[in-house]
């Protein structure tokens, strides 16, 4: 059964990871197995240079992937005829390498080569359409202008423009990165391709359209807003910082209360010690020497001078503690109390301060010392000054028409090439007026880069300007610009399966070489390699005959 739609669709890309050291564990991903190509952008490889296959190792990898996913056994040989598309005016060396890969590696019975845009042209041709026409094919890497006369491609007058959807996506990426430098990493090439397909269009008159975009009302009505993905990490960090600041404030308040309580306890303890020392001093003044010496022994002191020294120190300490308490009540200041005692322990049994309390105070001392200035100033809550969702939006204005315009004006990106209109006029001028009239009756647009809205109207406008007054022309757009090439190749293969027309057999490959091509209605023109003939060697008989004569005659 012939499938109505392609059974497998993927981009011709491959990525080979490095794996572990020594090359062990390297993994190769192909096509849809890659997922998002952005993380692997620097590892992506393609067998094509523009649209010409140049790396046959990667091409073999892609073919293995195709046969495996389609369930075609490739062990020993692939016993199925193949229809492949190739570039317009494909180099003979590229076709030779491809034929060698198919016949020598996969042992295919026969193969046919065709041009994708010509397959699309013949798939969309109606009975009322002429068999001649001008095919404009614009793809991912390049654009072609192909004249078709009497059902065959006129390869001598084909023209190629090295611009396509890839260059438009890169140009759009550069425009938006310059416009939004804060979202440089988020403006990826994959997103730009998506924007091109969904938001871009071709202006019928580029300069006039730019003038319209200068009007604020036109801008507001036609600007497209694209939402970039974002996370609430920034907002979460703001909330987290507020919660952290609140916790710090609570911690500082607890430290204030703790320090005030410690000061009061220390003041009470020092006052009790001072009262006891003053009581002992009164015993000396009253002449009770026995009780006085007994009290000195209990206090571990030797003389009245030492007693007086301790009384002075404790009096000074009590006075300082009272001043600190009064100052903290007036100025709402927090001072960290030193855990080390300023005086010797006069009464170790009466001390109620535990070692755990001292260690807990020491843990908070650095934090309290750093945060002390912030306590005096009230901290206002941090509020976001903008909407994060709006900040991560892209406003697509004139970029919607500037990116696809490069196929008509390559000078926008600095390319020294002619656009589609100039190239189309150049191709038409190479024919007579009668042939020009035939070609413009069927201007056919195909390829993924022709799906922009307004492209057909722009081509009609360009033809109206370059064609004679009151001359007729018709512009047609492919029904499915991307898949019509596959549909056309499928229809051709089904129709010519039992014929020899257009098929290259293994016998042809062995006899005529890998660059050989059998022409058909959608193929290139085969131009065989013509080696220059060597000139015949000049006859040396007269010189040799003269050499055998008389030496005197010589």
Q: Is 262 exposed, middle or buried (0-12, 13-18, 19+ CB in 10 A)?
A: middle
Q: Please choose, from the candidates 141, 84, 140, the residue with its C-alpha nearest in 3D space to the C-alpha of residue 110.
A: 84
What is the C-alpha to C-alpha distance for residues 464 and 458, in angstroms, rounded to an integer? Answer: 10
CB 154 within 8 A of CB 123: no
Q: Is 120 exposed, middle or buried (0-12, 13-18, 19+ CB in 10 A)?
A: buried
Tokens matching residue 388:
């994060």
What is the C-alpha to C-alpha distance for residues 489 and 497, in angstroms, rounded to an integer? Answer: 12
Q: Name the DSSP letter for residue 32.
A: G
Residue position matching structure tokens 């310059």 = 178
Per-residue pLDDT, 304: 80
**Where does residue 62 fall: left (phi above 0), alpha (psi -120 to 50 degrees), or beta otherwise?**
alpha
Give the 3-state secondary structure of residue 264. helix
Per-residue pLDDT, 230: 82
Among the four given CATH numbers 3.20.20.140, 3.20.20.20, 3.30.365.10, 3.90.640.10, the one describing domain 164-230+392-414:
3.90.640.10
Q: Where are the domains of the chain?
A: 164-230+392-414, 243-331
Measured CA distances, 141 to 86, 167, 169, 305, 370 (Å): 14, 7, 11, 103, 62
Count CB neighbours of 123 within 10 A.
22
pLDDT of the chain along its 554 residues, tens only?
788 899 999 988 888 876 655 555 667 888 888 878 888 888 888 899 888 999 989 999 999 999 989 888 877 788 899 999 999 999 999 999 999 999 999 999 999 999 999 999 999 987 666 789 999 999 999 999 999 998 899 999 999 999 999 999 999 999 999 999 989 989 999 999 999 999 999 999 999 999 999 999 999 999 999 998 887 765 555 556 778 888 888 888 888 888 888 888 888 888 888 888 888 888 878 778 878 888 887 888 878 888 888 888 888 888 888 888 877 766 554 444 443 444 444 444 444 444 445 445 455 444 444 444 444 444 455 555 567 888 888 999 999 999 999 999 999 999 999 999 999 999 999 999 999 999 999 999 999 999 999 999 999 999 999 999 989 999 999 999 999 999 999 999 999 998 888 999 999 999 999 999 999 999 999 988 776 666 566 544 454 545 544 444 43
Give the 3-state secondary structure of residue 405. helix
The enclosing H or E element of 152 equals: strand 152-153
Q: Please choose, from the candidates 202, 146, 219, 142, the residue with its C-alpha nearest in 3D space to the C-alpha of residue 400.
A: 202
CB 30 within 8 A of CB 22: no
Per-residue pLDDT, 59: 92
Per-residue pLDDT, 86: 94
pTM: 0.69
Q: Name the DSSP letter for residue 144.
A: E
Residue position matching structure tokens 């009164």 = 282
What is the C-alpha to C-alpha distance for residues 127 and 329, in angstroms, rounded to an integer? Answer: 102
Measured CA distances, 552 to 286, 544, 546 (Å): 168, 16, 12
Q: For the stretch 318-356, what's the b/e string if a residue is b when 16 or more beta carbons lie within 10 angstroms of its beta carbon?
A: beebeebeeebeeeeebebbeeeeeeeebeeeeeeeeee
């Amino acid at each position: 059964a012939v499938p109505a739609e392609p059974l497998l669709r993927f981009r011709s890309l491959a990525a080979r990871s490095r794996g572990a050291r020594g090359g062990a564990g390297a993994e190769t991903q192909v096509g849809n197995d890659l997922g998002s190509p952005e993380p692997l952008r620097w590892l992506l490889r393609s067998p094509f240079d523009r649209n010409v296959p140049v790396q046959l190792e990667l091409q073999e990898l892609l073919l293995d992937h195709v046969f495996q996913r389609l369930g075609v056994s490739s062990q020993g040989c692939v016993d199925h005829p193949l229809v492949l598309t190739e570039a317009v005016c494909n180099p003979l060396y590229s076709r030779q390498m491809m034929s060698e890969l198919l016949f020598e590696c996969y042992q295919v019975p026969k193969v046919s080569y065709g041009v994708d845009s010509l397959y699309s042209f013949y798939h969309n041709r109606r009975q009322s359409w002429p068999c001649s026409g001008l095919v404009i094919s614009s793809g991912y890497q390049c654009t072609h202008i192909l004249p078709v006369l009497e059902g065959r491609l006129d390869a001598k007058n084909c023209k190629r423009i090295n611009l396509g959807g890839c260059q438009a996506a890169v140009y759009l990426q550069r425009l938006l990165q310059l416009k939004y430098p804060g979202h440089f990493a988020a403006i990826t090439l994959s997103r730009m391709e998506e924007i091109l397909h969904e938001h871009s269009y071709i202006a019928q008159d580029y300069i006039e359209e730019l003038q319209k975009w200068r009007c604020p009302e036109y801008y507001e009505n036609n600007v497209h807003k694209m939402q970039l993905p974002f996370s609430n990490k920034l907002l979460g960090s703001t909330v987290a910082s507020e919660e952290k600041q609140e916790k710090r404030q609570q911690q500082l308040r607890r430290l204030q209360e703790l320090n005030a309580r410690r000061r009061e306890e220390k003041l009470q303890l020092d006052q009790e010690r001072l009262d006891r020392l003053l009581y002992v001093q009164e015993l000396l003044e009253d002449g009770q020497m026995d009780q006085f010496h007994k009290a000195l022994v209990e206090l571990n002191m030797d003389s009245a001078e030492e007693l007086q020294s301790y009384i002075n120190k404790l009096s000074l300490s009590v006075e300082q503690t009272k001043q600190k308490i009064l100052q903290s009540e007036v100025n709402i200041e927090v001072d960290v109390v030193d855990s080390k005692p300023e005086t010797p322990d006069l009464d170790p049994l009466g001390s109620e301060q535990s070692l755990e309390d001292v260690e807990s105070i020491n843990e908070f001392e650095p934090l309290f010392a750093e945060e002390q200035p912030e306590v005096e100033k009230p901290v206002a809550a941090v509020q976001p000054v903008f909407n994060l969702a709006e900040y991560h939006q892209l406003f697509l204005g004139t970029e919607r028409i500037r990116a696809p315009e490069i196929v008509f004006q390559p000078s926008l990106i600095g390319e020294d090439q002619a656009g589609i209109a100039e190239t189309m006029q150049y191709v038409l001028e190479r024919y007579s007026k009668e042939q020009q009239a035939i070609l413009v009756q069927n201007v056919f647009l195909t390829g993924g880069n022709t799906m922009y809205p307004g492209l057909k109207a722009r081509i009609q406008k360009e033809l109206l300007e370059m064609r004679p007054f009151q001359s007729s022309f018709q512009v047609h757009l492919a029904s499915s610009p991307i898949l019509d090439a596959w549909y056309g190749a499928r229809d051709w293969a089904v129709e010519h399966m039992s014929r020899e027309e257009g098929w290259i057999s293994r016998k042809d490959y062995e006899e005529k070489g890998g660059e050989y091509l059998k022409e058909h209605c959608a193929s290139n023109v085969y131009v065989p390699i013509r080696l220059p003939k060597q000139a015949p060697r000049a006859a040396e008989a007269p010189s040799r005959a003269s050499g055998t004569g008389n030496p005197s005659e010589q």
